[in-house]
């Protein structure tokens, strides 16, 4: 069998389980990948990120197709497009609830919190069916301009040179979405918003 380097497996397992512990993925949702040259290692189709096994990491190519894509995540097409259009080396995809809920109502998430606003500035919301070419292009194009993107009614993709940084973006998007949601609730209850000091 093509050997998956142990550091790749350890790193994917670590960040996948962190996303699961935070409730960003449920059961068999979400996926993650790491790129090295023309190769990417991606989580298996329908694997459980909570408890990733070595056999759940599949090696496929960035610049060409291979039969192993039959085993890999449905979103391999999206990860590939991100790697082809951006210089990133790690991609995470999860379904954090506040981000997904807000994506049903907005076209752009402008983080209301200072840190999120400083780092992310604005996170676009795009459309596209899971596993489709359209989604792949929409997401990759958004990540050419920023660090994160929300797919409407679906989830969040983040990309970076390091998995740890992609994870940081993921947490920030969800944190900002949560703050945005809470702010809306408070506003709806009649409280008056003060001008934030961004």
Q: Which residues bind other proteins (CB under 8 A)?
A: 1-2, 44-47, 55-56, 65-74, 76-77, 129-132
Least distance to other proteins, CB of residue 100, Å: 17
The continuous run of DSSP H or E covering 41 comes out as strand 39-43
Least distance to other proteins, CB of residue 162, Å: 27
Please name every residue paired with 151 in a beta bridge, in sequence order, or none if there are none.
Answer: 126, 155
Nearer to other proteins, 72 or 123 (CB): 72
Q: What angle do CA 152, 158, 47 make, to 5 degrees?
A: 85
Nearer to other proteins, 44 or 175 (CB): 44
Nearer to other proteins, 19 or 58 (CB): 58
Nearer to other proteins, 19 or 78 (CB): 78
Least distance to other proteins, CB of residue 101, Å: 21
The pair of three-digit structure tokens given for residue 129, joined into one six-digit string:
């069916």
| Contact present, 33 and 41 (Cβ < 8 Å) | yes
Least distance to other proteins, CB of residue 150, Å: 19
Distance of CA 118 to the CA centre of its chain: 19
Nearer to other proteins, 136 or 170 (CB): 136
Least distance to other proteins, CB of residue 92, Å: 19
Least distance to other proteins, CB of residue 72, Å: 6
The pair of three-digit structure tokens given for residue 46, joined into one six-digit string:
């329908």
DSSP symbol at 57:
E
Nearer to other proteins, 107 or 133 (CB): 133
| Contact present, 82 and 88 (Cβ < 8 Å) | yes
What gap in Å lies between CA 28 and CA 171, rounded to an integer? Answer: 19
* 3-state secondary structure (DSSP) of residue 148: strand
Longest dimension (CA), the chain: 61
């Amino acid at each position: 069998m093509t050997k998956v380097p142990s550091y790749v497996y350890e790193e994917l397992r670590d960040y996948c389980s962190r996303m699961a512990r935070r409730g960003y993925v449920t059961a068999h949702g979400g996926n993650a990948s790491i790129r090295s040259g023309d190769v990417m290692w991606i989580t298996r189709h329908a694997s459980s990120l909570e408890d990733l096994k070595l056999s759940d990491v599949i090696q496929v190519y960035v610049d060409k197709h291979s039969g192993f894509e039959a085993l890999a995540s449905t979103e391999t097409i999206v990860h590939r497009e991100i790697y082809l259009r951006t210089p990133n080396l790690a991609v995470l995809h999860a379904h954090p609830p506040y981000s997904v809920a807000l994506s049903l109502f907005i076209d752009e998430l402008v983080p209301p919190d200072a840190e999120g606003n400083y780092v992310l500035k604005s996170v676009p919301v795009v459309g596209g069916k899971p596993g489709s070419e359209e989604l792949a292009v929409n997401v990759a194009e958004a990540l050419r301009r920023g660090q994160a993107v929300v797919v409407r009614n679906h989830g969040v993709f983040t990309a970076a040179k390091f998995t740890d940084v992609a994870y940081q973006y993921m947490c920030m998007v969800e944190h900002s979405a949560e703050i945005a949601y809470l702010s809306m609730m408070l506003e709806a209850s009649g409280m008056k918003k003060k001008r934030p000091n961004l």
